[in-house]
Amino acid sequence: MSRATNRALLRHVLLPTIFLTVALLGGVRAEAGGGALLFVPPPLVTLMMAVMLLVLFARGGAVRVGRWLSADNGAVENVSHALTLGALFFASAQAFNSVLPDAGLPRLVLACFFLWTLWQNQFSAFDARRLLRSLAALFGTAFVVKHLLLASLNDAGGGGWLRRLTAAALEGFALGGPAYAASTGYVSFFALALYVGGLFLLPPSPAAESDGDEGRAVGLARDLRLLPARERALVLEELSRETEKEGRD
């Protein structure tokens, strides 16, 4: 009973709270001068990225939408699960928003990088764990570019050789929009950490731990589809041989 209660609290309370917090913090910016807080809504490109990312979650088995929203669930449970998936969508959009520069050439470059990576992964074979690791690396790289590299270049008080060299090389191009206070980077880091942590807590299906033999069979079938045709045939042949051996015994 305790395990079922913990799973229900995770699905209906903890995960929506995590993703809604990320959706709020992902758009928070602090002005460089007075420190006033601003909220930047997710631009259209981040909504497109969020859609592509959720498709990847479904393809990789990280989220089995048919199990989250099913006729076997009650109406209240389906509504709660739909709210959780909606919170995941907006949290994904705001996670991209937090690491995407607000303007300039870096914004265009990073947006194209995100879109190209997500589009390529639509046609790649991968599993949920590999997808989550690649996402963590992707967001980490973008965070370093925006909140460390570009922030140092936009720092008016910094006159290092890197800033002068980059400004000379990119003369005439905006380097990432308005400058923000250093606390913006801390907020973004906290939002990304919450988002990645929420993804690792998100079960593929609401009853992932209680699926039993059915869940293992679905996982085995998915793994077989990822294998090349020759290796898949060898595995099926070996399984058939083992089944016949057990039947004779």
Name residues whose C-beta falls within 8 Å of residue 198's C-beta, 6 or more positions apart in sequence.
Answer: 15, 18, 19, 22, 88, 91
Token readout for 8 is 């229900």
Token readout for 56 is 């990847």
Q: Does residue 198 sit in the same domain as residue 143?
A: yes
Q: Does residue 97 sit in the same domain as residue 120?
A: yes
Q: Does residue 189 sit in the same domain as residue 84?
A: yes
Q: Does residue 174 sit in the same domain as residue 55?
A: yes
Q: Does residue 183 sit in the same domain as residue 249?
A: no
Q: Does residue 159 sit in the same domain as residue 125?
A: yes
Per-residue model confidence (pLDDT) at position 243: 74
- Asked if 201 contacts 62 with a C-beta cutoff of 8 angstroms, the reply is no
Dihedral-angle region of residue 212 (phi above 0 means left; psi in -120 to 50 means alpha; beta otherwise): left
The domain total for the chain is: 2
Per-residue model confidence (pLDDT) at position 85: 93
- Asked if 204 contacts 67 with a C-beta cutoff of 8 angstroms, the reply is yes
Q: Which helix (H) or strand (E) holds 238?
A: helix 229-248
Tens-binned pLDDT, residue by residue, of the chain (249 aa)? 477 787 888 888 899 999 999 999 998 988 877 768 888 888 899 999 999 999 988 888 888 888 888 887 888 888 989 999 999 999 999 999 998 887 777 788 888 888 888 888 888 776 777 778 888 888 888 888 887 777 666 654 444 555 555 555 444 444 556 677 888 888 999 999 999 999 988 888 886 544 444 555 655 666 667 677 777 788 778 778 777 776 666
Q: What is the largest CA-CA distance in the chain?
A: 81
Per-residue model confidence (pLDDT) at position 167: 53
Task: Tell me how far apart the terminal alpha carbons of the chain are, to the nearest angstrom.
Answer: 39
Q: Which domain holds residue 219?
A: 212-249
Distance CA 27, CA 191 (A): 10
Per-residue model confidence (pLDDT) at position 248: 66
How many CA atoms within 13 Å lie on the side-chain side of 77? 15
Q: Answer whether 0.75 is exceeded by the pTM.
A: no
Per-residue model confidence (pLDDT) at position 6: 79
